[in-house]
Amino acid sequence: MENSNVTDAELKELAISLYEIDALKFGEFVMKVGLKSPVYFDLRVIISHPNIMIRLARTLWAFAGECTDIAQICGVPYTALPLATLISADTDIPMLIKRKEAKAYGTKKQIEGSFKQGDQCVIIEDVVTSGSSILETVSVLRKEGLKVTKAFVVIDREQGGKKNLESHGIKMKSLYTVTQLLAYLLEANKITLKTVKAVTDYLLKYQVPASAVPASEKRLKITFHVRASKSKNVIATKLFNLMEAKQSTICLAADLTKADAILELADLAGPHIVMLKTHVDIIEDFTDDFIKRLKQLAEKHNFLLMEDRKFADIGNTVALQYQKGLYKIAEWADVVTVHAIAGQSIIDGLKSGLQNINEPRGFFVLAEMSSKEALTTGEYIQSAVSMAQNSDMVAGIVCQSNIFMNLGLVQLTPGVKLSKSSDDLGQQYNTPEAVVNAGADLAVVGRGITEAQDKLAATLEYKKELWAAYLKRLPN
């Protein structure tokens, strides 16, 4: 115990109470990091035992001692939130909540609560193994301008977490180490020497180093050419390599209604983009010749073609929409977009529409939209990401924030302009640096180029700013 304000007898009594409510378990368990462990701590059960929860929160807060610089408290979601709430209510120190994912509507905040730049925030956590969960939370808080240097933890599993946190400037204090808990429970005849030996041997054998970068940010710290080798989809690999080769991350949204205007734009901007995005059903003079000429330009300037069809029907219907009709999208579009609303059957349907196509194809699953008050939130986003990660036909995910960790998928983010703004129909725009920092690998730029007086100059400016932001997010 690192705090002399709490007696050994109090800690032992509290440890026994935690054991008796089944918060401390012994047997064989698979941990979040994938290791088998002879001990497992499930502190979520404390919410059913208010008296123990209150005692635990007050004992943990004894670490604060005479600290007068703590302006905010933040519990790591979700198990530590009740403890942080009790501490906040007991001390009258404001509390912050870090969301599991950023809101996809309204303010799109990832931190809930009122705070000022420079506020000192202490982290509350239940159990630390590698320290990665704390680092995830700290990363978000620090991006918002908060100072985070302390973490108060109930149990340190003694597997490298404390050292990892210290390397990131976080001093961790724990009520218990596993070794101390074993001693208390053995003395109280709650466990046997055999159990103590099994746990001790496990601790000696397994140390779990935290990554230098929190898991959710790993993808953003790895170069495109490395990620190209991680892709299951040929189009995703090609995109990563194209972005690296052309030093461009522009997907140009050619949302124009005249075929010649699109072809002229494609020829002008083609050398500086990696993908051209169309909505063929808005083209007033669409012909097969238009597609032929567009494909020739794509080959000439080395960019891919995306038809932003946003398929959203049952499998059989989307197969026909993809393959048949006036536009015959499957024959020429390297990439199409698809809503996740219909589930896995929509991917299977699109795949069946490629039976007579020899060229590689890729799908982008739409998980988040850039329109105000979009309904693509919460569980829908998680389901869309899961669907995308389980198919070798999916090249990437359309989203507004860093919601997935798969290195081989491309994040495509729409709504990019040099200055933050919105239009009269709910479209919201963010700056190149903002979208890249939010996870964008490929950025959709439309009206910022198509409505510019000098379209080539605008293309070059976006290319420059987006690439600079990408380089800036990589490690030195």
Q: What is the pLDDT of residue 37?
A: 85
Of 216, 240, 243, 217, give the one whose Cα is nearest residue 228. 240
Alpha helices, DSSP H, located in 255-370: 259-269, 288-301, 315-323, 344-352
DSSP 76: P
Q: What is the pLDDT of residue 205?
A: 84
d(CA 258, CA 71): 58
User: Which tokens sit at 469?
Assistant: 């932001």
CB 308 within 8 A of CB 335: no
Mean pLDDT across the chain: 89
Whether the per-residue pLDDT at 217 is higher than 80: the answer is: no
Q: pLDDT tens, 107-166? A: 457 899 999 988 999 999 999 988 888 988 998 898 888 999 999 999 999 988 998 898
Could you give the residue numbers annotated as active site? 310
Q: pLDDT tens, 328-350? A: 999 999 999 999 988 889 999 99
Task: Give the residue-averaged pLDDT of 445-472.
Answer: 95
d(CA 467, CA 218): 18
Whether the per-residue pLDDT at 33 is higher than 70: the answer is: no
- The CA–CA distances, whole Å, from 278 to 259, 269, 273, 312 equal 11, 14, 14, 17
Percent above pLDDT 90 for the chain: 69
Whether the per-residue pLDDT at 394 is higher than 90: the answer is: yes
Q: Which residue did the predictor score with more confidence, 204 or 334?
A: 334
d(CA 22, CA 1): 22
Whether the per-residue pLDDT at 106 is higher than 60: the answer is: no
Whether the per-residue pLDDT at 170 is higher than 80: the answer is: yes
d(CA 436, CA 444): 11
Q: Is 461 exposed, middle or buried (0-12, 13-18, 19+ CB in 10 A)?
A: middle
3-state SS class at 138: helix
Task: Give the residue-averaged pLDDT of 16-21.
Answer: 97
Q: pLDDT tens, 356-368? A: 899 999 999 999 8
Cα of 247 vs its chain's centroid, Å: 24
| Partners of 398 in beta bridges | 366, 412
Q: How confident is the model at residue 214 (pLDDT cuts 50, 70, 90)?
A: low
Whether the per-residue pLDDT at 466 is higher than 70: the answer is: yes
Write b or e for each residue in 67-101: b if 16 or more Cβ atoms lie within 10 A of its Cβ, otherwise e.
eeebbbbbbbeebbbbbbbbbbeeeebbbbbbeeb
Task: Give the residue-averaged pLDDT of 65-82.
Answer: 89
Whether the per-residue pLDDT at 93 is higher than 90: the answer is: yes
pTM above 0.75, yes or no: no
The length of the chain is 476
Write b or e for each residue in 199-230: b if 16 or more Cβ atoms lie within 10 A of its Cβ, otherwise e.
beebbeebebebeebbebbebbeeebeebbee
